[in-house]
Copies of this chain bind each other. A is one copy, B any other.
């Protein structure tokens, strides 16, 4: 899949350079970082005369990409470019050359060579998709001084490390309109991701129109589903971006919605009312694998749905089936005995093998979550590795064993972005790591997918849960394994994060929307400052305790305004680290700026006319202000009394509690600072 056309190979031999990441990463905000990059002294000014020309056969994708490139360049620079479309008669300022329009599959060549000289820029690629990847890199190279915008001179020789660089979006728990999907596809393309895995069905809703089985959308979607025309539209849109679309119809578990529409295929013995599930969790409704009609139904459904998705792969889910209804059903138990199926895993494998035959007839490879990897499952299936230490598996989960057994495999364990963990956590997860694999095994590790499960996200908040962390994961999938400097990644990510806004993503702007809504459009500065040091509760703990979220519960609360990697908390953490390592007056002054901002929070908070939505934050605001005030004064006065020390210690415990579904992310650093004060300023 990383075969490069001969002329590239020769080019590479002629120009045998390879620069380490650190040489240029401080000046260039590229993400994902390219395979090889070399700076030169050239610089091409962006002015109204800039033109783009395209050379190659089959230009539908690249024409659109070039137009969008010009639009984004225009927005970024404000330059009134004369030629709003690629020119056709001669070579442009930017000359795009490619060999062929490519099919989208795991063999697609996405490599490109980008050269920026003073008078022109070339992008050379074996395929149109490679050229598209090059255009995204070029957009990341726009620079400016006071009087003009320009491209900085570089030569880049780039190709991905993994062929499968995916994002999964769950549209069942919370439906996501087409606009949400499209803007996230744009964002994916901007960081060179190439697989959109569409989790279309689950207990909470069946989201795709079936003409064969219309009750699926009529009874099991609350009216929130994609028409087949919309599906085709999204698939075509993704294809233009060089993104494959893999549908997932999750069976035999996660089937409450399917069985709400067609209860006759369920496993429950006797009367049972299946209903669209409103809560989050793992539920019992399961298809009956012993009923031949179940397969007729699935064959009918797959035969209708598969052609909407031209991709070779088709995801059948297969996860989290606890088999309770199977165990309680004597007919199913008898079937197992009759067919020598000892465990429920055996029964599910029986089911999976039947599905694989259906899918093969439709020209599809079966893909499923790693529960499908049983001793009897043929290695023609594709293993989507999701479980790891949290689910009682060894570190790294099933990915390596799948590859060693001979399965193609894709990693999502470690990339569950809905767990609301730091970008550093995900960036540190390497699909292969230090494991030694044969070339054959290595080629079976296709890549990975970030997974956006949507129990706790809505169209308003989903972007801020996907981005910017997924950009760093995209780099993990595209860039060489050695590209791993966390601090450098975070610097570049800051720029990428902001630039994602130009694609219409709402991850930044919707925070204030939520806060305005919470305050009835009053001054939000106090809440905004709080949100910069708080993060939503992690690892599904938000859904515990007194609050039990349903799919239609409010998700525009304070926790929804907060994001992972809270900006002031991150900056404060760096500051405290530096201060403790080498204290200085400058750093002390910066610390006081933060403490003083937090010290006034409660006063500002109290100026907001209260309402039931912000009332639960009063205690949080007060604790932070009280603590910050005392600590600030102790630092200014270089004096901490025992009484104040004890009070602060008690308050820290309070700050470590969750408030309104958020956790305060500065408490560890406040503790360090308190300890410093204790060591240096404590008086009796």
Contacts and interface: CB of A to CB of B under 8 A. Distances in A.
Interface of A: 64, 67, 70-71, 74-81, 84-85, 144-149, 177-179, 222-223, 227, 229, 233, 278, 459-460, 495, 498, 501-502, 504, 506, 508-510, 512-513, 516-518, 520-521, 547, 549-554, 556-557, 610-613, 615
Nearest to A550: B84
A28 to B, nearest CB: 14
Given A79-B554, A509-B510, A512-B512, 9 more contacts: A74-B554, A76-B517, A77-B613, A146-B611, A146-B612, A146-B615, A498-B520, A508-B513, A509-B509
A610 B278 CA distance: 51
Nearest to A519: B498
A149 B518 CA distance: 13
Contacts of A84: 278, 550-552
Nearest to A553: B80
A552 B177 contact: no
Given A278-B84, A612-B149, A552 B509 contact: no
Contacts of A75: 517, 554, 556
Contacts of A459: 504
Contact of A146 (B504, B549, B610): B610
Contacts of A613: 77-78
Nearest to A81: B552
4 pairs of A and B residues whose beta carbons are closest in the complex: A84-B552, A179-B179, A498-B521, A509-B509
A612 B501 contact: no
Contacts of A460: 504
9 contacts: A70-B552, A84-B552, A144-B520, A148-B612, A149-B611, A178-B179, A501-B516, A508-B516, A509-B509
A317 to B, nearest CB: 25
Contacts of A551: 84
Contacts of A557: 78
B509 A513 contact: yes
B550 A80 contact: yes
A613 B521 CA distance: 30
A498 B84 CA distance: 36
A516 B510 CA distance: 14
A547 B48 CA distance: 13
Nearest to A497: B521
Contact of A552 (B74, B76, B498, B550): B74
A610 B67 CA distance: 28
A149 B612 CA distance: 8
Contacts of A229: 227, 229
Contacts of A222: 67, 85
* Listed residue (A510, A512, A517, A615) with the most chain B CB atoms within 10 angstroms of its CB: A517
Given A229-B227, A517-B501, A552-B71, A78 B612 contact: yes
A512 B509 CA distance: 8
A495 B519 CA distance: 12
Given A177-B179, A178-B178, A179-B178, A553 B501 contact: no
Nearest to A233: B227
A77 to B, nearest CB: 7
Nearest to A80: B553
A549 to B, nearest CB: 8
A131 to B, nearest CB: 18
Contacts of A64: 223
Nearest to A557: B78
